[in-house]
Chains A and B, each alone.
Chain A
Amino acid sequence: MSTLARDQIFSVLKEELLAMDKPEAAARMSEAAHFKHDMGLDSLDIVEFVARAELHYRVHVKDEDFSALDRVGKVIDYVLERVPETNA
Chain B
Amino acid sequence: MRITVAAAAKALEALSPLLETYRRRFNLRLVETPGEVPDPVRQRQLAGGADAMLLVGSRRRSPRTVLPGPFLEDSRGRRVPTGWLPEVGEVPLKRFAEAAARLHERSTNPGQRVVAVLSQWNPKYLHLANRIEELLAADPTATAVMGWSGDQLTRDDLMRGLDCGLAAAIYVGHGRPVGWVGYHGTRAHHFQGNAGHPLGVMFSLCCATASRKRTGLSFSEALPLMGRAAASFGAVEATLHADNTRWALGLCQAVRQGGQTLAETLLLALPTSASAIRGYRILGDPLAPLAAAPGALQQAVTIGKYDEYLSA
**With A44-B127, A44-B128, A44-B131 as given contacts, are A54 and B242 in contact (CB-CB < 8 Å)?**
no
Pair B240/A63 contact, Cβ less than 8 Å = yes
CB distance from B160 to the nearest CB of A (A): 30
- Contact indicator B131/A48 (Cβ below 8 Å): yes
Residue of A nearest to B275 (CB): A63
Q: Closest CB-CB distance, A20 to chain B, in whole Å? A: 9
Contact B242 A44 (CB under 8 A): no
User: Is A32 positioned at the interface, with any CB of B under 8 Å from its CB?
Assistant: no
Q: A44-B131, A60-B273, A60-B274 are in contact. Are A55 and B245 (CB under 8 A)?
A: no
Check B245–A48 contact: CB distance below 8 A.
Answer: yes
Is B134 among interface residues, defined by CB-CB distance under 8 A? yes
Residues of B close to A52: CB separation below 8 A: 249
User: What total of chain B residues lie within 8 Å of the partner, measured CB to CB?
Assistant: 18
A41 CB to nearest chain B CB (Å): 12
- Closest beta carbon of chain B to A23's beta carbon, Å: 14
Asked if A54 and B245 make an inter-chain contact with CB atoms under 8 angstroms apart, the answer reads: no
Residue B92, interface by CB 8 Å: no
**Cα distance A51–B242 when bound, in Å?**
9
Is B70 part of the binding interface, using a Cβ–Cβ cutoff of 8 Å? no
Specify which chain B residues have a CB less than 8 angstroms from the CB of A66 in the assembled complex: 242
Known contacts A54-B271, A55-B272, A58-B272: does B249 contact A48 (CB below 8 Å)? yes
* Cβ-defined contact, A60 with B131, below 8 A: no
Q: Which residues of B contact A81 (CB under 8 A)?
A: none
Is B246 part of the contact surface with A, judged by Cβ < 8 Å? yes
Decide: A44 near B240, CB < 8 A? Known: A54-B272, A60-B272: no
CA distance A54 to B275 in the complex (A): 14
Contacts known (A21-B134, A63-B240); A47 close to B272, Cβ less than 8 A: no
Q: For residues 46 through 84 of chain A, which have their beta carbon under 8 Å from a beta carbon of chain B?
A: 47-48, 51-52, 54-55, 58-61, 63, 66
For B110, the chain A residues whose CB sits under 8 A away are none
Give chain A residues whose Cβ lies under 8 Å from the Cβ of B274. 60
Give bound CA distance, A66 to B273, whole Å: 12
1/0 per residue A31-48: CB within 8 Å of B? 000000000001010011
Q: Once the chains are docked, how many angstroms separate the CA of A18 from the CA of B272?
A: 22
| Residue from A44, A55, A59, A61 within 8 A of B250 (CB atoms) | A55
Q: Could you give 10 example pairs across A and B, Cβ below 8 Å?
A: A42-B127, A44-B127, A44-B131, A44-B245, A48-B249, A51-B271, A55-B271, A58-B272, A60-B273, A63-B275
Q: A51-B242, A66-B242 are in contact. List 8 more A-B contacts (CB 8 A).
A: A42-B127, A47-B246, A48-B245, A48-B249, A51-B245, A55-B250, A60-B272, A60-B274
